[in-house]
Chain A
Amino acid sequence: MTDAILETRGLVKSFGALRASDGITLDLRPGEIHAVIGPNGAGKSTMIKQLSGNIAPDEGTVHFLGRDVTGLSTMARARAGLARTFQVSALAMEDTVLQNAVLGALGATSSPYRFFRPALKKAELRDRAMAALERMGLAGHAATVVSELSHGQRRQLEVAVALTLQPRAFLMDEPMAGLGGEGSQQLTGILDRLRAEAPILLIEHDMDAVFALADRISVLVYGRIIATGTVDEIRRSPEVRDAYLGDAE
């Protein structure tokens, strides 16, 4: 428990009669990729929004780096080192790739309330942004406007912007969504190397990617975690087969 980077205890969130989170307890440990899988409507999005601070839980707590962050905003959590990627790319579509990455560097390193010197000419912002782009293989596209990127490149940029925060943990909401086999494989390789830097809580539908990457898997069904374990344990678990693999695949 003590060495967990990110940890939730008994998260409950209801929307009317629907209990979207029904006592979720899980943790993310250093160096691991912890995948959360579950059928559609299991409450994965609701869970990640409580982790990132977009919605507040009705009950339960979220701890990050040993601190209770349950009452903190998304912004405060991001500044504390919790980086998030979105299921549907949330990027400044009219801006260039570099501008998007510089935005991340700006959030991580300095105040945005500077009004005169061009953002792209600030060496500390630019270097940090370019380093992240290079790692995601986007350095050659720095001057490209995001709306002209391919879907796969946008997914990579999502991760690159998260990288500029030099985070202590990643929350990734279906980073493989909409990627073809090749793109998905490429991103799998990148995430594989990323875990050494900061652990990843990964929500993902792509089972090949999950089984290839995850150190541990939690299975979320109707707002509850019904099993947590290694890839093999989850594959063998009869409850998981019944509740999830059984009817979903």
Chain B
Amino acid sequence: MSRERLLGAVVLLALGLVPLAAHLMGEPFTITLATRAAILALAAVGLNIALGLGGLVSLGHATFFGIGGYAMGILASHVQNYEPMFEWPFLFEGSTSMPFIWLVAVLASALVALLIGLLALRTSGVYFIMITLAFGQMFYFFSISWSAYGGEDGLSIYVRNGFPGLNTLDPIQFFGLSYAVLCIVLLGAHLLARSPFGLALGAARQSPDRVQAVGLDPKRLRLVGFVISGAITGLAGALFADLNRFVSPTMFSWQTSGEIMVFIILGGVGRLFGPVVGAAVFVMLEHWLGDMSEFWHIWLGLLLLAVVLFARGGLVGLIAGREKAHD
């Protein structure tokens, strides 16, 4: 096992064990923090497929995070308010079932990723960054002005949605669920990176000419990668909304896009466990620095600047060496 793998396994294990310990010691807040870290890591695992594997610098992944969040908010609010979503062609009252909400979140984010990808992938480089950022902002303003679902104030969902066999309102059970989703998606991302698709997408990032010359279409590879990436971040959005029992336009904001990207950079671009390390470190910093100083974003900014300027490869790179695993 390489040092990178070992580090990843340790961090993932710690992320699983700390809430268990907190549960035994009766500290639900720590469990909530760990849940937050796991869900944010999931969002970043999604972005990492576009960014790390595909080289697509998407500064608009809040779009998918928000769509996932609103998928939960909209479906659950109809049930909460006893207002059917539609009555034709059949009566649909909304849903409070997590698996169904997740399915809707994934499909809706994938569809939007497809549309944005079709437009944004006509360009590359800086254009791609600006366009993804702009479409994120479009959803942000749209959610603010769409008063039917709370507008600027967002939507509160009073009861956390259900998952068969679990009491999701129990912090440790909801954590376990989020953690399980994260582990499954990590396994999927690991397989994806080594699969024929991952190989081709990675090559399309490094040498699009070569990919074309062997008869593969780099644009289509990128589009599929972008859609998968958006769908995963959308799933994270649905979980995040359930964690907070609240959705608001903030989920669509450019800061959210930036932060999801920051998780990856703190951890290390294109590394399987980079997003997990990054999100965990971010949540800890947010908690501790936020306690010490009202202006903790300054320290976050300085740390980020230092990592970008001096520690390329992120924290995983610092600890495990710059060389990435090859297999």
Contacts and interface: CB of A to CB of B under 8 A. Distances in A.
The reply to whether chain A is a binding partner of chain B is: yes
A106 B210 contact: no
Interface string A32-73: 000000000000000000001010000000000000000001
B216 A75 contact: yes
Contacts of B212: 54, 73-75, 78
Interface string B198-219: 1110110011011111111100
Contact of A92 (B192, B207, B216): B207
Nearest to B219: A75
Given A74-B212, A86-B213, A161-B210, A118 B203 contact: no
Contacts, number: 115
Interface of A: 52, 54, 73-76, 78-79, 83-84, 86, 90-96, 99-100, 102-104, 106-108, 110-120, 122, 125, 143, 145, 161-162, 164-165
A104 B214 contact: yes
Contact of B200 (A52, A112, A116): A112
B210 A118 contact: no
**How extensive is the interface on chain B, given as a class?**
20 to 34
Contacts of B196: 106, 110-114, 117, 119, 122, 125
B265 interface: no
B194 A103 contact: no
Contacts of B191: 115-118
A165 B215 contact: yes
Contacts of A95: 199, 202-203, 206, 326
Contacts of B203: 92, 95, 99-100, 103
A162 to B, nearest CB: 8
B207 A161 contact: no
A113 B196 CA distance: 7
Q: Name, among A54, A110, A114, A143, the residue most crowded by chain B CB atoms within 10 Å (CB to CB).
A: A114
Interface in B215-230: 215-217, 221, 224
Nearest to A158: B210
B5 interface: no
B197 interface: yes
B78 interface: no
Contacts of B327: 120
Contact of B324 (A94, A103, A107, A165): A94
A122 B195 CA distance: 10
B213 A84 contact: yes
Contacts of B200: 103, 106-107, 112
A181 to B, nearest CB: 28
Contact of A91 (B202, B210, B326): B210
A86 B210 CA distance: 9
Contacts of A54: 212
A184 to B, nearest CB: 23
10 contacts: A73-B212, A92-B207, A95-B199, A95-B202, A95-B206, A99-B326, A103-B210, A108-B214, A112-B200, A114-B195
Contacts of A91: 206-207, 210
A96 B202 CA distance: 12
A164 B194 CA distance: 19
Interface of B: 191-192, 194-200, 202-203, 206-207, 209-217, 221, 224, 324, 326-327
A162 B191 CA distance: 27
Contacts of A90: 207, 209-210, 213
Contacts of B324: 94
Contacts of A143: 326
B195 A118 contact: yes
A91 B221 CA distance: 17
Given A90-B209, A95-B206, A96-B326, A106 B195 contact: no
Given A99-B326, A116-B195, 16 more contacts: A54-B212, A74-B213, A86-B210, A90-B210, A90-B213, A92-B202, A93-B206, A95-B202, A103-B214, A104-B214, A108-B215, A110-B196, A114-B195, A117-B191, A117-B196, A122-B196
A83 B214 CA distance: 7
A210 B276 CA distance: 55
A117 B195 contact: yes
A112 B219 CA distance: 13
A112 B191 CA distance: 14
A172 B193 CA distance: 31
Nearest to A88: B209
Q: Name, among B199, B213, B324, B326, the residue most crowded by chain A CB atoms within 10 Å (CB to CB).
A: B213
B210 A114 contact: no
A164 B213 CA distance: 12
B199 A102 contact: yes
Nearest to A117: B195
A235 to B, nearest CB: 33
A103 B188 CA distance: 21
Contact of B216 (A83, A86, A106, A161): A106
In order of increasing CB-CB distance, the 9 nearest A-B pairs are: A107-B214, A78-B215, A79-B215, A112-B200, A107-B215, A92-B206, A118-B194, A92-B203, A90-B210
